[in-house]
């Protein structure tokens, strides 16, 4: 590390200004710039137009961008690792042997075709034997251990109001469409999606052995049934309020909501003590489910259970099931025209089930220690810079500032990979049995999660696997995490000038730090507990600043007369705005008063903003765009760049943008956080 720090209980108490490495590489591919577009008219197009025009969306993708390229590169690396593991003679039981055997089983399409529906015979047979509602309810309890596709799911999670404890949680499940609103919206596109859903259910049920006429009738019943389940569900915006989904009812209160479901038997099966606190996410939904246990005919319940069993397994069944699953999930919902090669499906399977074993091989090959060290330098410089911003804030009272800084100091930063790798010794992987292997890995993951209940919090656990091209903030742990997968060029480049790294990964770091203070994260204290730490007046001022961003994204025209839902995307938009401003100030701090060099004709400030915009060089198919606008709390990539920079005077100065330019919001409408 090229700066000195003194740590006391994980908090940086002394930090010298980091020196700027003597680097010459720009980090910006200037061939991707569209010089025919003025930067003050549409900076996203200026920064990315050349790249976008020369990188059309592949037929197998719903969208394509610079982060897609990073993801694609990581998949290629995983393929090489997995092919090597599959061909190796690694010891039986070793992580390398397990990931190689699972990949090999997945790639053996001849075996998959030969098995047909056999892998589902046991579960479908259990459903077929159900003769009473009581027997159906008992089966739903049994399936909680490995296949919790039913209307509810029990899992372990931190207690939001006592985050040091892991308790049992009950979540709403069971819907097949992307969100509850898809069952009720009346526009032509959504009605067509519902019609296509009925068609795909009918096709799947036919493939599963039903007669065509019978399958068509079953499909209509399933849509009607799921519409009943969707009605009491909270909307996506409502679920953004952590208080709305925190209902500490205990086992007794949960049983009162759905007395027909044998919660005690479920807890015994899952090894959960009855004395455990139980947090229910959506009580109104549980009450509605209780009604449907008797109001909905048993035959409909059994048909729906059969559908959910087949649908969840379809991507790993024979080609006919894979094709129909792809047609609805990818073509209908996101506009994708062509399936990806099998090896990508199989790398994704291994990553999602044996992520640490695969991740260990990935970081050993593709993430050197020097990268982890450099990332920590960037994180700590942004932490110090944000502390300075909070201390200098003109609108927060001293009491709120003190609490905000305490929260910032308590941030735990995770870089690259876990300190301790997951042990998969009990997972049974058989190259000749794909479904049995998937079930074993699934049950291991399920029991691992449930096994946390009642035990001390394990901060080693990650929410993403090492090869993932993403990052996150977890308010309950008050931690920010950056997997090795995202720490690849051009997001993070050890050979690049600091302007590019601070504009790209620095903005990502700032974004994740910002989530600790967005509309959701700001409701959690330094400890991770859901607790108010704001003075009443400061909370009102914060919400007024958030309202500025909500109004901005409600009014941004994204084409075809469409708009974002500002209240859905406000958290991510606040993260972008606060994160970029923080990254910029950290970059200037790293310069230590020196001028950044002009490289390829662009100043350091210009390259900083180009690097930020290049992160969001993303284009989407029309279907994927509409899906994202409906369900995704992230704004569309183009407008993450435009919307954020419209509020940045430093950007306006760097490119000499003036009042009245499209990239400059009126002064009285420019949003700011600190």
Query: What pLDDT digit, counting tens, does each position of 203-234 carry?
Result: 999 999 999 999 999 999 999 999 999 999 99
* 194 CB-near residues (< 8 Å, 6+ apart): 177, 182, 183, 223
The torsion defined by the Cα of 183, 186, 190 and 192, in degrees rounded to 10, comes to 110
Position 147 scores a pLDDT of 80
Closest CA to 645 of 544, 654, 561, 490: 654
Tens-place pLDDT, residues 51-78: 999 999 999 999 999 999 999 999 999 9
Q: How far apart are CA 607 and CA 600, in angstroms?
A: 9
Q: Judge contact between 269 and 447, C-beta under 8 A.
A: no
Position 8 scores a pLDDT of 28
pLDDT > 70 in the chain, percent: 96
Position 443 scores a pLDDT of 94
Closest CA to 645 of 243, 45, 8: 45
Mean pLDDT of all residues in 372-380? 97
Count of CB atoms within 10 A of residue 228's CB?
A: 16
Q: Judge contact between 587 and 507, C-beta under 8 A.
A: no
Mean pLDDT of all residues in 273-300? 97
Average pLDDT of the residues of the chain? 94
Tens-place pLDDT, residues 302-330: 999 999 999 999 999 999 999 999 999 99
Mean pLDDT of all residues in 32-49? 98
Q: Judge contact between 647 and 548, C-beta under 8 A.
A: no
Say yes or no to pLDDT of 24 above 90. no
Q: Which two tokens stand for residue 363?
A: 């970081």
Going by pLDDT thresholds of 50, 70 and 90, the confidence category of residue 25 is confident
Q: Judge contact between 516 and 408, C-beta under 8 A.
A: yes
Query: Taking phi first (over 0 means left), then psi (-120 to 50 degrees means alpha), and beta for anything else, what does residue 250 get?
Result: left
3-class DSSP state for residue 638? Answer: helix
Mean pLDDT of all residues in 332-356? 97
Tens-place pLDDT, residues 460-519: 999 999 999 999 999 999 999 999 999 999 999 999 999 999 999 999 999 999 999 999
Position 13 scores a pLDDT of 29
Q: For the chain, report the end-to-end CA distance as a whole number of angstroms.
A: 29
Q: How far apart are CA 416 and CA 303, in angstroms?
A: 44
Give residue limits of the domains in the chain: 144-316, 370-418+462-669
Q: What is the pTM of this model?
A: 0.93
- Widest pairwise Cα distance in the chain: 78
Tens-place pLDDT, residues 450-461: 999 999 899 999
Position 221 scores a pLDDT of 98
CA distances in angstroms from 504 to 382, 384, 491, 584, 587, listed in the order given? 13, 19, 5, 10, 11
Going by pLDDT thresholds of 50, 70 and 90, the confidence category of residue 146 is confident
Q: How far apart are CA 84 and CA 101, in angstroms?
A: 11
Give the distance, in angstroms, between the CA of residue 305 and the centroid of all CA atoms in the same chain.
27
* 402 CB-near residues (< 8 Å, 6+ apart): none
Mean pLDDT of all residues in 178-199? 97
- Alpha-carbon torsion (85, 89, 91, 93), positive or negative: positive
Query: Taking phi first (over 0 means left), then psi (-120 to 50 degrees means alpha), and beta for anything else, what does residue 412 get?
Result: beta
Closest CA to 5 of 516, 510, 383: 383
Can the peptide bond before residue 490 be classed as cis, meaning omega within 30 degrees of 0?
yes
Tens-place pLDDT, residues 571-604: 999 999 999 999 999 999 999 999 999 999 999 9
Helices 566-591 + 637-645 axis angle, to 10: 60
Helices 298-313 + 188-207 axis angle, to 10: 90
Give the distance, in angstroms, between the CA of residue 85 and the centroid of all CA atoms in the same chain.
28
Residue with tokens 């899952």: 270
Q: How far apart are CA 106 and CA 516, in angstroms?
A: 40
> Which of 2.160.10.10, 3.30.9.10, 3.40.390.10, 3.30.565.10 would CATH assign to domain 370-418+462-669?
3.40.390.10
Beta-bridge partners for 165: 456
Say yes or no to pLDDT of 18 above 70. no
Tens-place pLDDT, residues 545-557: 999 999 999 999 9
Q: Are strands 11-15 and 247-248 parallel, antiparallel or unpaired?
A: unpaired
Tell me which DSSP letter residue 163 carries: E
Q: Which helix (H) or strand (E) holds 618?
A: strand 618-620
Position 148 scores a pLDDT of 83
Say yes or no to pLDDT of 2 above 50. no
Q: For the domain 144-316, what is the CATH code?
A: 1.10.1380.10
Burial 300-331 (b: 16+ CB within 10 A, else e): bbbbbbbbbbbbebbebbbeebbebbbbbbbb
């Amino acid at each position: 590390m090229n700066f000195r720090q003194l740590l006391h209980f994980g908090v940086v108490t002394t930090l010298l200004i980091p020196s700027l490495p003597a680097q010459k590489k720009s980090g910006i591919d200037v061939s991707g710039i569209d010089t025919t577009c003025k930067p003050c008219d549409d900076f996203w197009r200026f920064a990315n137009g050349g790249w976008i025009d020369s990188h059309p969306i592949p037929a197998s993708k719903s969208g394509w961008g610079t982060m897609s390229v990073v993801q694609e590169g990581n998949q290629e690396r995983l393929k090489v690792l997995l092919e090597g593991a599959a061909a190796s003679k690694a010891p039986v039981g070793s992580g390398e042997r397990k990931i190689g055997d699972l990949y090999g089983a997945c790639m053996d399409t001849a075996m998959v075709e030969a098995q047909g529906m056999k892998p589902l015979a046991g579960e479908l047979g259990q459903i077929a034997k159900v003769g009473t509602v009581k027997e159906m309810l008992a089966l739903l309890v049994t399936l909680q251990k490995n296949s919790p596709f039913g209307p509810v799911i029990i899992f372990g999670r931190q207690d939001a109001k006592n985050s040091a404890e892991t308790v049992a949680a009950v979540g709403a499940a069971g819907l097949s469409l992307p969100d509850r609103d898809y069952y009720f919206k009346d526009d032509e596109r959504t009605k067509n999606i519902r019609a296509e859903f009925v068609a795909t259910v009918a096709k799947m049920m036919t493939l599963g052995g039903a007669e065509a006429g019978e399958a068509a009738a079953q499909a209509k019943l399933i849509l009607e049934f799921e519409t009943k389940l969707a009605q009491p569900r909270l909307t996506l915006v409502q679920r953004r309020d952590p208080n709305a989904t925190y209902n500490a009812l205990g086992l007794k209160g949960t049983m009162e909501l759905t007395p027909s479901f044998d919660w005690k038997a479920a807890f015994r099966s899952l090894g959960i003590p009855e004395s455990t606190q139980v947090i229910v996410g959506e009580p109104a939904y549980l009450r509605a489910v209780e009604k449907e246990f008797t109001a909905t005919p048993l035959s409909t319940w059994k048909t729906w259970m059969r559908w959910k069993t087949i649908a969840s397994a379809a991507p790993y069944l024979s080609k006919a099931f894979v094709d129909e699953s792809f047609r609805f999930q990818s073509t209908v919902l996101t506009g994708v025209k062509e399936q990806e090669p099998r090896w990508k499906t199989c790398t994704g399977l291994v990553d999602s089930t044996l992520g640490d074993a695969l991740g260990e091989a990935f970081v050993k090959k593709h993430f050197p220690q020097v990268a982890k060290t450099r990332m920590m330098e960037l994180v700590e410089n942004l932490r110090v810079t944000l502390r300075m911003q909070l201390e200098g804030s003109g609108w927060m009272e001293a009491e709120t500032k003190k609490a905000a800084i305490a929260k910032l100091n308590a941030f735990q930063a995770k870089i690259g990979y876990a300190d301790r790798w997951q042990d998969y010794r009990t997972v049974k992987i058989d190259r000749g049995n794909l479904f049995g292997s998937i079930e074993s890995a699934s049950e291991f993951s399920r029991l691992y999660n449930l096994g946390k209940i009642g035990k001390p919090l394990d901060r080693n656990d990650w929410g993403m696997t090492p090869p993932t091209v993403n990052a996150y903030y977890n308010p309950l742990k008050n931690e920010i995490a950056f997997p090795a997968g995202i720490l690849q060029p051009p997001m993070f480049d050890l050979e690049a000038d600091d302007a590019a790294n601070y504009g790209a990964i620095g903005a990502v770091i700032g974004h994740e730090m910002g989530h600790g203070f967005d509309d959701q994260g700001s409701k959690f204290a330094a400890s991770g507990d859901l607790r108010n730490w704001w003075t009443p007046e400061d909370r009102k001022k914060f919400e007024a600043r958030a309202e500025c961003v909500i109004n901005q994204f409600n009014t941004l025209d994204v084409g075809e007369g469409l708009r974002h839902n500002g209240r859905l995307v406000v958290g991510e938009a606040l993260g972008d705005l606060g994160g970029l401003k923080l990254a910029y100030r950290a970059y200037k701090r790293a310069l230590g008063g020196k001028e950044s060099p002009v490289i390829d004709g662009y100043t350091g400030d210009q390259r900083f903003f180009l690097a930020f915009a290049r992160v969001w060089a993303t284009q989407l198919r029309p279907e994927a765009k509409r899906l994202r606008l409906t369900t995704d709390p992230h704004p569309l990539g183009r407008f993450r760049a435009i919307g954020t920079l419209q509020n940045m005077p430093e950007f306006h100065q760097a490119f000499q943008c003036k009042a009245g330019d499209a990239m400059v919001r009126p002064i009285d409408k420019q949003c700011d956080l600190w």
